[in-house]
Amino acid sequence: MKVGIPSEIFPNELRVAATPKTVKRLQKQGFEVYIQHNAGIKANFSDKAFEEAGAKIVATAADIYGNSDIVLKVKEPAMEEVDLMKEGLVMLSYLWPAQNQPLLQKLADKKVNAIAMDAIPRISRAQKMDVLSSMANIAGYRAVIEGAFHFGRFLNGQITAAGKVEPAKVLVIGAGVAGLAAIGAANSLGAIVRAFDTRKEVAEQIESMGAEFLTVEINEDGATASGYSKEMSPEFIAAEMALFKAQAAEVDIIITTAQIPGRPAPKLVLADHVAVMKPGSVIVDLAASSGGNCELTQNGEVYTTDNGVTIIGKLNQLPSQASQLYGNNLCHLLDDMGKAEKWKIDMEDAVVSRAMVTYNGKINWPPAPLPVSPAKPKAAEIAVEDPKVVAARKNKKEATSMFIKLGVIGVLLFAMGQFAPGEFMQHFTVFVLAVFIGWQVIWNVSHSLHTPLMAVTNAISGIIIVGGLLQTKDDLSNSLVMTILASAAILVASINIVGGFVVTHRMLKMFKK
């Protein structure tokens, strides 16, 4: 089977649907690979690099669309490109089917079997094919880099001979893939990061990335079964706007990532929010192509407002990296479809059937809803025992277990005492008690202090203390020297245990902010 990769005709599209690395992978899958002349030049991949990887270079898009069995693209095809396609062609590309009904109709009329890569369902099995996540990851990272460049100051705080530099404050609105990537990048550069999302479930993800989770005092969750956020109530939106305005006056960089598939991006940063921002502040709007989250965003442009706020409506796509990840996503999907040897369009497959927007001359959009697992009951609905009751039961259980262990030891010692010599029993009793005390000293140490050094020294010191106490008894057989030595041993062992705890606590404090 032949796989063709045409040049992208839109001037602002720098990516290509294959790289020399993915060309080699396509060949391992059994495909012959054809690439249009200079298709990868904008992404810094030369024709020579593709030829060395084993691809064949063809002159025109007509050669690709007319002779290939499968075509891999990035942007949705223009109408004139559809005219070049042969009947039965399989095309994998961004299509945005909800917004491009005329294009779907034209593809169906040409009997092109079109797979919308942006319509891959967000299920666990399809994560490796999820181009939206791959590209969002790049966008989130790049948003921080662009924002830092236009901000013109350090993101991390510094203390230098010339003076102190305060760390920049970054607000990320939306904690999807792009938002989490932005949080991670900003945090790694030393900024103070805050993040907001209507979905309460992402709070732990935000905090695990080192950011502060912002929320409003309204108990409403924006999570949906699809993984995207839903539209919130007017009361929630009003509280949200008030929060954003307060944050806008304080932070230095705002990165917005909120988009709703098939609909204009919600307006989250209003003109009066921008008006209260400090001169030199930056807004990076990742939703610029769908209308923008900021009222003042201009798609494809970077400009500065009258009060000195830079609003970024375009990003460098990092075309080389983006092409590699996109190409990997395409290869994963071709793997699932059987490669060249067992190629099959399986409309019973949950991924293929929902992404195949035109099939055998018919439009297959919108797809049937994807079945989801029943929602788990919320924490508030689950009966939770009183922690005090749980703790009391645990303590009672531990105490009972301890008494049983002591009882067993006592019975064994009594039974042994009936037959063993008295001198042996005295030493054996000392040994058992010393081991027991030493074990207790280790067992009751906090887990944060459980280093091998603490465990071993506490055990030895516990045994020494017990032995010393037994040697200080008021007995005529004991000499004054023996009593003095035993007392010294007890003192030194006690200092060792107490000193170990003190030093370890001080060491732990060194790693706390």
Catalytic residue (choose from 122, 125, 153, 263): 122
Q: Which residues pair with residue 193 across a beta bridge?
A: 170
Catalytic residue (choose from 99, 101, 105, 127): 127
Contacts of 439 (CB under 8 A, 6+ apart): 459
Task: Mark whether 142 is an active-site residue.
Answer: no
CA 55 to chain centre: 35
- Report the run of H or E that residue 44 belongs to, with start and end: none
Cα dist from 342 to 1, 30, 334, 337, whole Å: 11, 10, 10, 8
Task: Mark whether 359 is an active-site residue.
Answer: no
DSSP assignment string, 79-100: HHHHHTPPTT-EEEE---TTT-
Residue 419 CB coordination number (10 Å) = 7
Catalytic residue (choose from 63, 118, 130, 252): 130
Nearest in space to 295 (alpha carbons), one of 280, 307, 303, 285:
285
Task: Mark whether 133 is an active-site residue.
Answer: yes
Contacts of 222 (CB under 8 A, 6+ apart): 197, 198, 199, 229, 230, 232
- Report the run of H or E that residue 355 belongs to, with start and end: helix 350-355
Q: Which residues pair with residue 115 across a beta bridge?
A: 92, 356
Backbone CA torsion sign across 120, 133, 214, 256? negative
Q: Are 136 and 176 in contact (CB under 8 A)?
A: yes
Catalytic residue (choose from 47, 205, 228, 487): 228
Cis? peptide before 121, omega within 30° of 0: no
Task: Mark whether 65 is an active-site residue.
Answer: no
Cα dist from 42 to 109, 135, 141, 220, 365, whole Å: 32, 17, 21, 45, 33
- Report how far residue 1's alpha carbon sits from residue 340's, in angstroms, rounded to the nearest whole number: 6
Backbone CA torsion sign across 122, 123, 124, 130? negative
Contacts of 364 (CB under 8 A, 6+ apart): 353, 356, 357, 358
Q: Are 467 and 490 in contact (CB under 8 A)?
A: no
Task: Mark whether 122 is an active-site residue.
Answer: yes
Catalytic residue (choose from 7, 29, 93, 133): 133
Which residue matches tokens 């009672």? 396
Q: Are 350 and 121 in contact (CB under 8 A)?
A: yes
Q: Which residues pair with residue 302 across a beta bridge?
A: 312
Where in the sequence numbering do the catalytic residues fall? Answer: 122, 127, 130, 133, 228
